[in-house]
Chains A and B, each alone.
Chain A
Amino acid sequence: MDMTFDGISLNLRGRQILDAVTGTLRQGRVTVILGANGAGKSTLLSCLAGLRHPDSGRISIGDRDINRLDRLERARMIGLLPQQGDIHWDIDVTALVSLGRMPHRGRWGMSDADHHAIQAAMAATDCTHLAKRKALRLSGGEQGRVLLARILAGEPQWLLADEPLASLDPAHQLDVLDRLKQCARTGAGVAVVLHELTHAARIADDILVLKEGRVIAYGPRDQVLTPDILANAYGVEVHIGTSPAGDMMVVPIRRIA
């Protein structure tokens, strides 16, 4: 089943944030959402997570409108990793990651399935050794990984991540990107908002480009990552090349007047 969104429009305080945005998140594939600042990427992600109701348009999984789903069922299916990595209390890492199991947990205590998911999530993000540490004492990078572990622990079918690479060092950035790709490979549908174009090239199967709330391009990676489309989206001239190992590289060169 795919998540389809059709004609999503949202007007906030007089500004048209999203205008007839249409697209699909396919299971087993990574969709990267690109666009300049203020293009509406985070808002789109909020709508897809069911946190915002669009003024018009429909977001469905299969043929079920996600805004009609039971709150907990939607939470089980869709996981959101918000841009601000808020951690308000100095809880230990295991407790933080366990929060991801909330939509699945019964009334009391945690089942074996819960424990297993938590352990697996922490292993996947290289956080197992942080288990007993306090969340607020971690470095920015460690916190980023722990927050990703939280969302992985929920085993969502759709994983929506809003700029998950901020404050991570290059090695961990690559780890997170590869982890997201892995999630798609194991069957989840992944949508990621990214800024770095080479990162996008690394993991994207499909790309959706937003400009001022409208979709200006949507399709497989190679069709969308072109100099013309990126010039339109960002106002910069880019150079697209290949690394010696064969990875696609997209490098912004200069502003277009």
Chain B
Amino acid sequence: MIQLRLNLLLLGALLAAMLVSLLSGKVWVPPGDWLRGDLASLIILELRLPRTILAAAIGAALGMSGAVMQGYLRNPLADPGLFGVSGSAALGAVSSLYFGYAISALLLPLFALAGAAIGISLLAMLAGRSGSLILFTLAGMILASISGSLTSLLISLAPTPFAASEIVTWLLGALTDRSWDDVRLALPVMAAGMIALAFTARSLDALTLGEAAARSLGVDVRRLQWLVVLGVGLTVGASVAAAGIIGFVGLIVPHLVRPLAGHRPSAVLLPSALAGALLLTLADSLVRIVPSASELRLGIAMSLLGAPFFLALLFRMRRELA
């Protein structure tokens, strides 16, 4: 089965990438030393391992969200950020930075999750129960716009340029020095989100035929909308809480795997998760290996990857239309 082979291939590549990630960093730690139980294994077990797991988890969550978004909106250019939940989660996190949070390491992620929750509720309120896609997309754009403006406002009101720069830096996305605490907080939320997303698989397939046919096949569009909103909200919220804003994964990955997986929306979900995990793990290793004074911000690395991808997409579409 093509499907099985694809998934196994991606899984294998992912495991290899995770190994690379454990080897990546400014300090060289030979594999023989990993479990020796002293400083070297400290670096591996307390710093690089949680970071690797987080990169894979966030990549998987964002990849799967992107696949569901594209299936739900019937648009191969949809991105989890379209719902505005990443914006509202970021606003929550930025608020905690703005009001000063040296109190507890957990405060920023919790604020981010709260922001995501508020975003989800606002979406539900704005879009109503109609299930209309246009209304939904508009509501998401409004939410993204409002969150973005408020975030910019907080940046401009920051008391010192250093505080402003701290906020901006956080927004650019990074996994530097994340710990098991971050993993413990983000992983269950992401897992819950991905389970919700997995339940949409069949309905997304039915939507291939359009909404009327899908409903006649027994799809409950309102339940589907809730699952999508919840799934995307939880996965994106947890990702932002752990690592700031990381874009393009949800957009690029489903695109890349779709032709390999046979175009059926349900078949794209698992490969997107695996490929997303692979992509982000590799990118996060790259930012540590690239020689520079300090680590390249992960969000920037993804954007730099995303732009040429879009150019390639544009050229291919032009050729097809010509």
Contacts and interface: CB of A to CB of B under 8 A. Distances in A.
A and B touch in the complex (CB under 8 A): yes
Contact of A74 (B202, B207, B218): B218
B216 A78 contact: yes
B255 to A, nearest CB: 12
A149 to B, nearest CB: 12
B216 A75 contact: yes
B217 A89 contact: no
A100 interface: yes
Interface string A94-113: 01100110110000000000
B263 A102 contact: no
A81 B205 CA distance: 16
Contact of B74 (A88, A92, A95): A88
Nearest to B265: A89
Q: Which has the most chain A C-beta neighbours within 10 Å: B207, B217, B264?
A: B217
B218 A91 contact: no
B31 interface: no
Interface in B151-206: 202, 205-206
Interface string A80-92: 1110101111111
Interface string B97-124: 0000000000000000000000000000
Nearest to B213: A82
A191 interface: no
A49 B216 contact: yes
- Chain A: number of interface residues, binned into ranges: 20 to 34
Given A90-B263, A102-B218, A84 B208 contact: no
B262 A92 contact: yes
A82 B206 contact: no
Q: Which has the most chain B C-beta neighbours within 10 Å: A90, A100, A102?
A: A102
Given A88-B210, A91-B263, A99 B205 contact: yes
Contacts, number: 72
A86 B263 CA distance: 15
Nearest to A92: B262
A129 B74 CA distance: 28
A102 B210 contact: no
Contacts of B46: none
Nearest to A82: B212
B209 interface: yes
A99 B210 contact: no
A251 interface: no
A1 interface: no
Interface in B22-73: none
A95 B217 contact: no
Given A89-B263, A89-B265, A90-B263, A71 B220 contact: yes
A138 interface: no
A86 B213 contact: yes
Contacts of A154: 217
A125 to B, nearest CB: 16
Interface in B196-244: 202, 205-210, 212-213, 215-218, 220
Given A87-B209, A99-B208, A51 B216 contact: yes
A79 B262 CA distance: 26
Interface of A: 46, 49-51, 71-72, 74-76, 78-82, 84, 86-92, 95-96, 99-100, 102-103, 134, 147, 150, 154
Interface of B: 74, 202, 205-210, 212-213, 215-218, 220, 262-265
Given A46-B212, A96-B208, 12 more contacts: A51-B212, A75-B217, A78-B216, A80-B216, A88-B208, A88-B210, A89-B208, A89-B264, A91-B263, A102-B217, A102-B218, A103-B217
Task: Return the 5 tightest CB-CB contacts between A and B, nearest first.
Answer: A75-B218, A86-B210, A80-B216, A82-B212, A88-B74
15 contacts: A46-B212, A75-B216, A78-B216, A80-B212, A82-B210, A82-B213, A86-B209, A87-B208, A89-B263, A91-B263, A91-B264, A92-B263, A95-B264, A102-B217, A103-B218
